[in-house]
Amino acid sequence: MTQQPRSLFEKVWDAHVVATRPDGQSLLAIDRHFLHEGSFHAFGMIDHAGRKVRRPELTFAVADHYVPSHSRSKPIADPEIANMVTMLEANAGRHGLRHFGLHDPAQGIVHVLAPEQGLTLPGLTIVCGDSHTSTHGAFGALAFGIGATEVSHVLATQTLWQRRPKTMRVTVDGVLGPHVTAKDLILAIIAAIGADGAAGHVIEYAGSAIRALSMEGRLTVCNMSIEAGARAGMIAPDDTTFSWVEGRPYAPKGALFDRAVEHWRSLPSDPGAVFDREVTLDAASIAPAVTWGTSPETAVPVTAAVPDPGAESDPVRAGQMRKMLDYMGLAPGTALEDVVIDRVFIGSCTNARLEDLRAAAAVLRGRRAVVPGLVVPGSVPVRRQAEAEGLDRVFIDAGLEWGEPGCSMCVGINGDLVPAGERCASTTNRNFPGRQGPNARTHLMSPAMAAAAAATGRLTDVRKLDLRKLGAS
Amino acid sequence: MDPFVTLTAPAVPLDIANIDTDQLLPARFLKKPRSAGYGNFLFHDERKPGFPLDDPAYAGAAVLVSDRNFGCGSSREGAVYALVDGGFRCVVAPSFGDIFAANAAKNGLLTVTLPEDAVAALRRQLQEAPGAAVTVDLPTQTLTGPDGRPLPFAIDPFKKECLIEGLDDVALTLRHQDAIDLFDRRDAERRPWVVPGVVPGVV
């Protein structure tokens, strides 16, 4: 009997089904459960019910959302914020979980730390009470965010009830142009399909442009799957993946690693695998992108102008565009490259890996930032390596701050906020109203583009900046 | 959680697409215990003059009718707590963020997905007759707006059952304890690399 061709998603899903109900709900086994400070509601639920953590050896706690970006040797000043960090430590301790706390030499943003430590592996099911858990799909894992009640369910049972999502393949063929990065690629995809374009679907990213990405680039792409509404994003594991994983602290070693790789090589989608929806993009058509509105779907090439609601035929849509422009303080028709910014933020689970910091530093080397800015590496190991390469000096010499690892100004709950009314060029994932602080205005872009904006004080096409510098030298 | 069977209550229209969970519950309130009453934080930073939820004409609304991609963004269940503590039992939209919709069901908040034009028509009716009630009947899967026209909606049967019964799904899952144990034993042989071994320090 020949087996039907299956996709990467279907192989991972099928391997984790514990039970199926007649109504189509499946009980999925979970291989990795990551927790951050926000898990206190879930711990409260299992404690209230008198339940234990079923698989502590598969459960990892990481302090990232509330940790300070500065002065870590001193106690956290805000008692409510300090309480969030100590509550995680107490809950992890009580349930016997590995806790990557504030002073751990591996500490970092959970979606940077877990791949770095070899906790993220191909073919795993991974959940975390954080929507950007989709990041881990870069390894060919099925990884998605869940809410507090589901977190408590996974703590107690190491399983989750799920209805099998639909599948979408996004194929990007061709070669990305100079200074066009994984961030520009995913912003282009979100703009093409919309902020709810992949709702109810798991995306598989495929094509030569995806294959050519480094693991860092793949993590950036999968990270923002949720901004297209996707349940998860996945990329087939290959030699790039295996060589990243090999030798990492929690990764399998020796013969066990070889056996794992043999299995992982069977995971990529079979030829002829069928997807519910197919989308294709041409890599060569993608330009460095910025967003103009309060949804990531408002990404456009930086060379474009602010759109005109007057040209929108649907009055409801036009009204929504006006509301976004009003919040962002932008007039229709303004060239985006004329938009003046107040600060930059380089960091977050989207863009705080070594490759990101190298790209930003390459633009800022020998330049001064004309606006204030904060650079927050994704983890202590990233920070150490960046310092070994002198990247911290590039940022500090340019006039930017060099912070300690964490979520920082992406969500602002450790106190790093964009002041009200200010406009921030940000390498983060969400430009929602109030995301970086009440009335803060966020333009999403790549690390190189944020660095370019820091150097000019405007939204800037990094390709032109580079040319100018070359012409001047 | 409170079971959801039927509801007749005033509905408030919100003509905004992509209402994200940061808008529903600004991140600075995430560290608050549930006992703080999350209803006070609902749309905290959107409460400007003219915001429909503050219009006395819509007082007592328990149904929110919005636009596409409601509840997108962060997985924070607090966004659902804010709606529930704020008196809402049902949200109607053309599409929802997946994680939000899952969180809603766990807390007795019904999400009703209807076609974009039907939801737009419903919002118009509510704007023309502020304070008008809608009736939601979960067993028959119909929503009836001010115009009296019943609109059928689809819902996952498992979600429907959990909402009507007010089920705690951990208890339900524990009925499959033997299947989980068996899976774990077999998987340990099939994929022995999944459980991390002894860790020789960090990078």
At residue B1 the predicted structure's pLDDT band, cuts being 50, 70 and 90, is confident
Q: Which CATH number fits domain B6-167: 3.40.50.300, 3.20.19.10, 3.10.20.310, 3.40.50.720?
A: 3.20.19.10
Contacts of B165 in chain A (CB under 8 A): none
Q: Which residue matches tokens 């799920």?
A: A162
Tell me the pLDDT tens digit for each residue of B94-110. 999 999 999 999 999 99
Write out chain A in H/E/C secondary structure.
CCCCCCCHHHHHHHCCEEEECCCCEEEEECCEEEECHHHHHHHHHHHHHCCCCCCHHHEEEECCCCCCCCCCCCCCCCHHHHHHHHHHHHHHHHCCCEEECCCCCCCECHHHHHHHCCCCCCCCEEEECCHHHHHHHHHCCEEEECCHHHHHHHHHHCEEEEECCEEEEEEEECCCCCCCCHHHHHHHHHHHHCCCCCECEEEEEECHHHHCCCHHHHHHHHHHHHHHCECEEEECCCHHHHHHHCCCCCCCCHHHHHHHHHHHCCCCCCCCCCCCEEEEEEHHHCCCEEECCCCHHHEEECCCECCCHHHCCCHHHHHHHHHHHHHHCCCCCCEHHHCECCEEEECCCCCCCHHHHHHHHHHHCCCCCCCCEEECCCEHHHHHHHHHCCHHHHHHHHCCEECCCCCHHHCCCCCCCCCCCCEEEECCCCCCCCCCCCCCEEEECCHHHHHHHHHHCECCCHHHHHHHHHHHC
B95 Cα to chain A: minimum distance (Å): 8
The domain segmentation of chain B, as residue ranges, is 6-167
Of residues B15 and A471, which shows the higher confidence score? Answer: B15
Q: How many cross-chain Cβ pairs, A to B, lie less than 8 Å apart?
A: 198
Helix (H, G, I), strand (E, B) or coil at B151: strand
Tell me the pLDDT tens digit for each residue of B31-90. 999 999 999 999 999 988 889 999 999 999 999 999 999 999 999 999 999 999 999 999
* Cross-chain residue pair B201–A249, CB shorter than 8 Å: yes
Whether ipTM tops 0.90, in short, is yes
Domains of chain A: 8-278 (3.30.499.10), 289-472 (3.30.499.10)
Predicted pLDDT at A470:
43
Predicted pLDDT at B2:
81
Residues 6+ apart with CB under 8 A from A44: B34
A349 labelled ligand-binding? yes
A222 labelled ligand-binding? no
* Cross-chain residue pair A249–B107, CB shorter than 8 Å: no
Q: What's the mean pLDDT when you consider all of chain B?
A: 94
Nearest to A28 by CA among A110, A118, A120, A124: A124
State the best of A196, A354, A431 to mutate against chain B, taking most chain B CBs within 10 Å. A196
Tell me the average confidence (pLDDT) per consecutive run of 10 residues in chain A, 473 residues long.
87 97 94 97 95 97 97 92 97 97 97 98 98 98 98 98 97 97 98 96 98 98 98 98 97 96 98 98 98 98 97 91 97 98 98 98 96 98 98 98 97 96 98 96 98 98 74 39
